[in-house]
């Protein structure tokens, strides 16, 4: 039974799997590189990361946890000394690298090389912010000039409107005078015609 054990079974019982993982972790820290099956490499990766994280802390409790995980005091001492000297200081994770080699001839198992990543982290260049387009800002002087021109245009329009009203009023007065003259002429003609009719009606 698995008894709520999480992880790959690797074709062995629990005790055998535990011992095999411990020996693979020790071999990786001793040689910095091992050749193994892909499933086994992926299974020991979390254990390797835990030990390096404990070495970064560097306290007594972390050292005891690492000794319990590896079972080798001298190996743990070497790991903690390397980390205290600056190894993995810039790296926040991903301490191992897995490179595939292809399938094994006998059982067609996928083989890999697993190694510790010891090179320094390449810092990414900060993306340059896009240059902002220079926006033309109207200065107070320009604003004042614009306001003055608007006021002048308003005054001109008002003067033109007054002139148009005066022209319309003059034209209306002229029309009224012409109408008054026409009415007077009609009245005079009517009076003349009435006078002529009276003279004709008088007896001789």
pTM metric for this prediction: 0.57
Give the SS3 label for residue 104: coil
Percent of the chain topping pLDDT 90: 44
Going by C-alpha positions, the residue among 79, 180, 86, 125 that lies closest to residue 188 is 180
> Can you give the pLDDT at residue 155?
79
The residues that bridge with 103 in the sheet, in sequence order, are 110
Give the chain's count of helices (H) and strands (E). 5, 3
> Can you give the pLDDT at residue 126?
65
> CB burial class (10 A; 0-12, 13-18, 19+) of residue 39?
middle
Residue with tokens 């007065």: 173
């Amino acid at each position: 039974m698995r008894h709520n054990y999480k992880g790959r079974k690797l074709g062995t019982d629990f005790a055998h799997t535990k011992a095999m993982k411990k020996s693979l972790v020790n071999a990786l820290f001793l040689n910095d590189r091992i050749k193994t099956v892909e499933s086994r490499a992926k299974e020991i990766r979390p254990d390797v990361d835990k030990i390096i994280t404990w070495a970064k802390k560097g306290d007594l409790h972390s050292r005891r946890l690492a000794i319990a995980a590896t079972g080798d005091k001298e190996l743990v001492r070497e790991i903690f000394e390397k980390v205290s000297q600056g190894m993995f200081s810039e790296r926040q994770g991903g301490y191992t690298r897995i490179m595939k080699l292809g399938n094994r001839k006998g059982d067609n198992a996928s083989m890999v090389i697993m190694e510790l990543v010891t090179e320094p982290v390449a810092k990414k260049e900060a993306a340059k912010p896009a240059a902002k387009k220079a926006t033309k800002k109207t200065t107070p002087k320009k604003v004042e000039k614009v306001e003055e021109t608007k006021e002048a245009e308003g005054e001109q329009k008002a003067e033109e409107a007054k002139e148009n009203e005066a022209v319309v009023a003059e034209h209306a007065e002229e029309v009224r005078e012409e109408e008054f003259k026409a009415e007077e002429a009609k009245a005079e003609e009517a009076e003349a015609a009435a006078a002529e009719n009276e003279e004709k009606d008088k007896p001789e």
